Structure 1
Amino acid sequence: MDHLIADFLHELQVERGLAENTLKGYAQDLKTFQAFLQTRSIATVSAVDQLVILDFLATEKAAGRARNTMTRMVTTLRRFFKYLMQNDQIVADPMAEIKTPKRSHPLPAVLTIAEVDQLLAAPDTHDKYGIRDRTILEVLYATGLRVSELVHLKLADLHLEMGLIQTIGKGNKERIIPIGDVAIDWIDRYLQTSRPQLLKDRHSEWLFLNHHGAGLSRQSVWIKIQRYVAAAGIKKHVTPHTLRHSFATHILENGADLRIVQELLGHSDISTTQIYTHISKKRLTSVYNQTHPRA
């Protein structure tokens, strides 16, 4: 199966243009499925039928897999076996009668404006790292960028004189995003002070650099944010994506049109953006209950 999986992932990457993180998810799901087949002494994909699929899904569910993980696994297998059918590797699709479980949609954590201010003020801006990290936080909150988009920002992507930055999002889709004056001021300060110190005599096209003068990783940004959340005394579970959620929720609460928010976030489907209207309503109810004398 190794070469079939490799060919399948290659097609998704080259012909479908799927994002790197999505490809990693598919690869992990198929690795898990392949390991399961080995426990059942199944050596070829042609020997996989509907009962094998059901056995695999039952095993994964019994192992405590989350509903969204199960949904993704079914989606992965459905695409994989469809690919095998199209390339004449199997004569019957074992996924044909398998239903995809519905995803759960828990509301994401959102910071209040006061909590955002606390978080942004957490880095010590008296040194090069603090200035860089403050700039990272300001850019994330000002633009709603995904962390993967942030770490791949290049100097050429900045159009600060026009108040814009450009990025490549999921599916290799380019979008142009406005960026506010406060974030622009921090970028300018970082470019004039911290970045030259981090870069030293080297050259790099990346905007945000580590102490070696190379580009930052997603994991390093995640770790930094965890540290600043703790320093700010914020008790919520906060990730880089929390700033994206907060960005979307706050501009919706201040009157932004849902279609505009969809464009800013780079969502291909408006239904993905609509979750933020539910967050706003939830917060509206919370404020009402806390403030109305007869609530």
Structure 2
Amino acid sequence: MNTTTSIILDTRRAKQDGTFPVKLRVTHQRKQKYFAIGISLSQTDFDKAQGEKPRGEYKDLKIKFGSLEARAIKVIEKLPEFSFEAFEKRFLEKKQSGQDVYSYYDRYIDSLKQEGRVGTASSYQTSLNSLKSFHPKKLSFAKVNAEFLLAYERWMLSRGNSQTSVGIYLRTLRALFNLAIEEGVLDKKDYPFGKRKYQIPAGRNIKKALTLEDIQKIFDYQPVSESEAWSRDLWLFSYLCNGINVKDIARLKYRNIEGDKITFIRAKTERTAKKNLKPVVAILTPEAKEILERWGLKPRHAETYVFGILTNSVTPEREMKLVQQAVKNINKYIKRIAVALGIEKEVTTYTARHSFSTILKRSGAPIEFISESLGHQDLKTTEYYLDSFEDDVKKQYAGLLTNFKKSH
């Protein structure tokens, strides 16, 4: 075959962000033509993706490049006579019809499971099951337009689902559209989300944070059983340690504890953040140290899980089940405690994280500090977490508007 292909970085003109487009180069009888594949990288990132043993995102990129080139070679082999025009027509036709939505879901769910991200895989599977209930037949990307998405939203709501659920399911679909565009299977013009198209509904931000008064009640509560004591203490540990979630509590080992602080990488971001993962640092207050002393496993070896929720060498599937059971137990008893204390809001493990961030906000802490403490990658995520101020605080500030009256 006198026609060759290769994946190259087109460095002739940089984009505004300093990256260059990655292209498929087809060479025939010393003539070359370039085809954009919808990916842009820096020279350094491209070199890493093309290296012998790339890891993480670079490994994913290398697989994508190989898949695209293999597809191009198949198109060339099937052409009776090569011409760039014939290749482009067949290649773009193949690109448009190469994958359907459900097969993309299946492939992505499999890749998540292979990475050990079984919780995320479960979320995508739930979204896929819902879409299949709405549209049982094969679903092409072309079929998914603003009208289709609006019809799906109405169907979901008519069956008693909330706007929040609709948003959760459709954000996974949006992520797959972005992936298909990135892989060159779709063109950006076929993207059905965004302004003047379909906008995913935002869930209602229900107040989840407790007041400082309610948190004091939980601190002062005298548990009636060991299960209550364990659940109350782990809830408080989450609140005291930057709103750390139960999965990260379960993953804590003694090597994460040094002096008056714990340092850890959030499980939620360790495989999804692209680079420069920043560890979360939580200061251990005297109360948090007391909880560690009460419930921490002994002897304290560096590789021992602190709270004994997990054991060494558990599979990702087993880890998910153990964490889910711990969350279930904590929620069961912390809800009982809340009822006994007359706390009207629903109290769960999630409430501890929201309470941590909101109490800091009400105390005047900068949002940048709160964001870093929570381990968020951007401030928008933090702003969503932060609860609104209590009415008495609003009244206090409103009174300042006419403070001049008090000087007369």
* TM beyond 0.5: yes
Give the TM-score range, shorter chain.
Answer: 0.7 to 0.9
Higher relative contact order, chain-length normalized (CA < 8 Å, sep 6+): 1
- Residues in 2 aligned to 1:169 and 1:262: alpha-carbon distance in whole angstroms: 16
Taking the aligned partners of 2:240 and 2:247, their CA distance within structure 1 comes to 16
Q: Secondary structure at the match of 2:133?
A: helix
1:135 to 2:240 alignment: no
Letter in 2 for 1:48: K
Q: Alignment identity in percent? A: 19
Report 1:1-295 matches (<5 A). Answer: 4-11=104-111, 20-38=118-136, 42-43=137-138, 45=140, 48-50=143-145, 52-84=148-180, 95-96=191-192, 98-124=197-223, 128-143=226-241, 144-159=243-258, 161-172=259-270, 173=277, 174-191=279-296, 195=297, 205-209=304-308, 217-275=326-384, 279-280=388-389, 282=391, 284-285=393-394
Structure ID, larger Rg: 2
Q: For the residues of structure 1 that align with 2:361 and 2:187, how far apart are their CA atoms?
A: 50
Contact 1:164–1:178 under 8 Å retained in 2: yes
Q: CA deviation at 1:235?
A: 1.8
Q: Secondary structure at the match of 1:176?
A: strand
Note closer, same or farther for the CA distance 1:96–1:128 as it changes in structure 2 (3 Å cut). closer
TM-score if structure 2 supplies the norm length? 0.56
Q: Give the secondary-structure state (helix, strand or coil) at the position aligned to 2:199.
A: coil
Counterpart Cα distance in 1 of 2:118 and 2:362: 32
Q: 1:293 — aligned with what?
A: none
Equivalent residue letter for 1:228: I
Give the SS at the match of 1:177.
strand
Let me know the Cα RMSD of the aligned residues.
Answer: 3.8
Task: Look up the SS of the partner of 1:69 in the other structure.
Answer: helix
The structure in which a higher percent of residues are helix is 1
Q: Which amino acid aligns with 2:236?
A: E
Residues 165 and 179 in structure 1, CA contact (< 8 A), matched pair in contact too: no
Residue deviations 1:41-64 (CA, integer Å, cap 9, x gap)? x23536835354443333223223
Bigger shift: residues 85-94 or 53-62: 85-94
Q: 1:286 to 1:275 in 2, by over 3 A?
A: farther
Residues 295 and 307 in structure 2, CA contact (< 8 A), matched pair in contact too: no
Q: Which amino acid aligns with 1:141?
A: Y
Q: CA deviation at 1:266?
A: 1.2
Tell me, which stretches of 5 or more residues in structure 1 are unaligned?
291-295
Unaligned runs of 5+ in 2: 1-100, 271-276, 312-321, 400-408
C-alpha distance in 1, partners of 2:308/2:396? Answer: 40
Instruction: Read off the aligned partner of 1:122 and give its amino acid letter.
Output: Y
